[in-house]
Amino acid sequence: MLVVRGTKKFLDRVGAPTVFDATRPDRLGDWYANVWFWRPQVAIFVEERSLLPVLVPLAPAASVVDRFPAAFEAMAGVLGVPSSAVQRELLSMKDKVLARTASRSILGVMNEFGHLADNYRWRHEEIDLLALSLWLAQIPCSPLRDRHWTPEDALRALLK
């Protein structure tokens, strides 16, 4: 089951939470989501265990959660995650639920990614969301310091 824990800004655009307490039994944990008010608007999804960021165009907002698995698949493929592990995760994402955020730490990481992405955006004329996601995945994150330094490394360890 794909559990998307959205911020208020995200849920206001995508829909009300369908559950208030859900857990994901797969290798990856819940995905946190927020909206960046760029032109065009972007949704950022961050996985709670690896802190992997995946960026998806928000519009149309009603289908952003349905479009997310394809963006995750593209990201994992570029990072060299075994396709069998990716397919297992995609199969588990068939059922989707929305919930409210539950971790301030992950929200803090998302805010940091937002500041870094703004800097990236000002240095590049055209923004490729996959390239930006990959760049953010290489940023060392202090919540990962005891296990892995970057979201990219953490994802590979979780899905080996």
Question: CA angle, 96 as apex, 91 and 100 as ends, to 5°?
Answer: 135
Average pLDDT over residues 90-106: 93
- pLDDT tens-digit readout, 128-144: 999 999 999 999 987 66
Would you say residue 17 has pLDDT above 60? yes
Would you say residue 26 has pLDDT above 90? no
Would you say residue 107 has pLDDT above 90? yes
d(CA 79, CA 152): 7
Strands (E), the chain: 2-6, 31-36, 42-47, 53-57, 96-100
Average pLDDT over residues 25-54: 92
Greater confidence, 147 or 131?
131
Strands (E), 37-81: 42-47, 53-57
